[in-house]
Structure 1
Amino acid sequence: MNNTKKHHFNADHYKNREVALLTQHGKESVLSPILKEKIGCIVTRVKGYDTDLLGTFTRDIPRAGTQIEAARKKARIGMDLSGLKLGLASEGSFGPDPFTGMLPWNVEVLIWIDNEYGIEISAVAQGKTNLVNLLTTSWEETEAFAKTAGFPQHHLIVRPEGENDPRIRKGIAEWTDLQAAFTWALEQSQNKQAFIETDMRAHANPTRMENIRVAAEELAKKLSCLCPACGTPGYSIIERLAGLPCERCGQPTHEIRAEVHGCCKCTHRVTIERSDRQYADPGHCDSCNP
Structure 2
Amino acid sequence: MATNSLFTGRVVVIATMHEKEKAIAPILEAELGVQCVVPNDFNTDIFGTFTRDIARPADQIATAKLKAKKALEITGETMAIASEGSFAPHPDLPFISANREIVVFIDMLNQLEIVGQEIFTETNFNSQSVRTVEEAESFANKIGFPSHGLVVMLSSDSLERTEIFKGINTEEKLTEIVNFALSKSSTGKVHIETDMRALYNPTRMQNIAKATKNLIQKIHQICPNCACPGFDAIAQRRGLPCGLCNLPTSAIRSVVYRCQKCSFQQEKLFPQGVKVADPAQCMYCNP
TM-score between both structures, scaled by the size of structure 1:
0.93
SS for the counterpart of 1:216 is: helix
CA–CA distance in structure 2, aligned partners of residues 83 and 11 of structure 1: 22
- After TM superposition, list the pairs within 5 Å mapping 1:138-217 onto structure 2: 138-164=132-158, 165-217=161-213
Equivalent residue number for residue 92 of structure 2:
99
Alpha-carbon contact 1:185-1:194 (below 8 Å) kept: yes
Q: What per-residue deviation string (whole Å, max 9, x for no partner) do you get for residues 249-287 of structure 1?
A: 221111011222332211222222217322111221122
Deviation at 1:75, TM superposition (A): 0.5
The AA in structure 2 aligned to 1:145 is: F
Equivalent residue number for residue 46 of structure 2:
53
Q: What per-residue deviation string (whole Å, max 9, x for no partner) do you get for residues 8-39 of structure 1?
A: 43434211210122210000111000000111
Task: Please state if 1:119 is matched with 2:112.
Answer: yes
Equivalent residue number for residue 11 of structure 1:
4
Deviation at 1:116, TM superposition (A): 1.4
Query: Percent identity, aligned pairs only?
Result: 37
Aligned length: 283
CA–CA distance in structure 2, aligned partners of residues 137 and 57 of structure 1: 23
CA–CA distance in structure 1, aligned partners of residues 24 and 42 of structure 2: 19
Unpaired stretches in structure 2, ≥5 consecutive residues: none
SS for the counterpart of 1:196 is: strand
The AA in structure 2 aligned to 1:144 is: S
Deviation at 1:191, TM superposition (A): 1.3
Q: Which one is further off, 261-270 or 248-257?
A: 261-270
CA–CA distance in structure 2, aligned partners of residues 277 and 269 of structure 1: 22
The AA in structure 1 aligned to 2:284 is: S
Q: Which one is further off, 269-278 or 113-122?
A: 269-278
Equivalent residue number for residue 281 of structure 1:
278
Alpha-carbon contact 1:23-1:47 (below 8 Å) kept: no
CA–CA distance in structure 2, aligned partners of residues 226 and 273 of structure 1: 18
CA–CA distance in structure 1, aligned partners of residues 45 and 195 of structure 2: 14
TM-score between both structures, scaled by the size of structure 2:
0.94
Task: Please state if 1:262 is matched with 2:258.
Answer: yes
CA–CA distance in structure 1, aligned partners of residues 260 and 139 of structure 2: 45
Equivalent residue number for residue 245 of structure 2:
249
Q: Quick one: which of 74, 89, 98 aligns to 1:81?
A: 74
CA–CA distance in structure 2, aligned partners of residues 104 and 281 of structure 1: 28
Unpaired stretches in structure 1, ≥5 consecutive residues: 1-7
Deviation at 1:208, TM superposition (A): 1.0
Q: Quick one: which of 214, 220, 227 aligns to 2:216?
A: 220
Q: What per-residue deviation string (whole Å, max 9, x for no partner) do you get for residues 36-90 of structure 1?
A: 0111111211133321111111011111111111001001000111111112111
Task: Please state if 1:134 is matched with 2:117.
Answer: no
Deviation at 1:161, TM superposition (A): 4.2
The AA in structure 1 aligned to 2:83 is: S
The AA in structure 2 aligned to 1:233 is: P
CA RMSD of aligned residues (A): 1.5
Q: Which one is further off, 255-264 or 124-133?
A: 255-264
Equivalent residue number for residue 236 of structure 1:
232
Equivalent residue number for residue 14 of structure 2:
21
Q: What per-residue deviation string (whole Å, max 9, x for no partner) do you get for residues 189-222 of structure 1?
A: 1112121100011111111111100011111122
Alpha-carbon contact 1:161-1:191 (below 8 Å) kept: no
CA–CA distance in structure 2, aligned partners of residues 173 and 12 of structure 1: 44
Deviation at 1:162, TM superposition (A): 4.1
CA–CA distance in structure 1, aligned partners of residues 29 and 63 of structure 2: 25
Alpha-carbon contact 1:19-1:43 (below 8 Å) kept: yes
The AA in structure 2 aligned to 1:142 is: A
